[in-house]
Amino acid sequence: MLTKIFCKVDDFCKQFEPHLNRYLIEHCGRKRIRKQSLSVSEVATIVIMFHAKGYRCLKHFYINHVCKYGCKHFQGLVSYNRFVELMPKALMVLSAFLQIRYGKVSGISYIDSTGIAICEKSRALRHKVFKDEAGWGKPSRDCCIKLIFQKNSLF
């Protein structure tokens, strides 16, 4: 599974990165061109695997799974802190890759029905942003206004 995902991401990166670099703003000062120990496609693959494996904490996934079992797959494996620094460079590539991988839209969507806390009760009269869409609710901790999405409201 890892090899299959990496191959797809890497093939996409080879086509997408030249187009992306054309639109990036260049830095005016001295430019260092140093090869990264992990490529953008490797970083994107690790992020995809994190979501596919169902881990809740990226740090635990990286330390307990990638560092233990991924050493043979990723030759230039870096520390967790350095990996977190490399992630923003892979964000644009990862977003574009996932955008083209969408399936056919069927018209059926799933949303989270959890209420969104808007403001505290003491500030309710001053808060006018969601005046028509908000309603009173009582979460587990304290009373607050909750945004209730209705059929024809925000979506």
Whether the CA torsion 17, 18, 24, 28 is positive or negative: it is positive
Task: Please name the amino acid found at residue 140.
Answer: S
Q: What pLDDT score does 43 carry?
A: 92
pTM: 0.62
Q: What pLDDT score does 2 carry?
A: 84
Block means of pLDDT (10 residues each) for the chain, 155 residues, are 88 88 71 74 91 89 89 85 90 88 72 61 66 60 47 39
Instruction: Please state, in angstroms and rounded to a whole number, the distance separating the CA atoms of residues 31 and 25.
Output: 13
Q: What pLDDT score does 36 carry?
A: 72
Instruction: Please state, in angstroms and rounded to a whole number, the distance separating the CA atoms of residues 154 and 148.
Output: 10
Instruction: Please state, in angstroms and rounded to a whole number, the distance separating the CA atoms of residues 98 and 101.
Output: 5
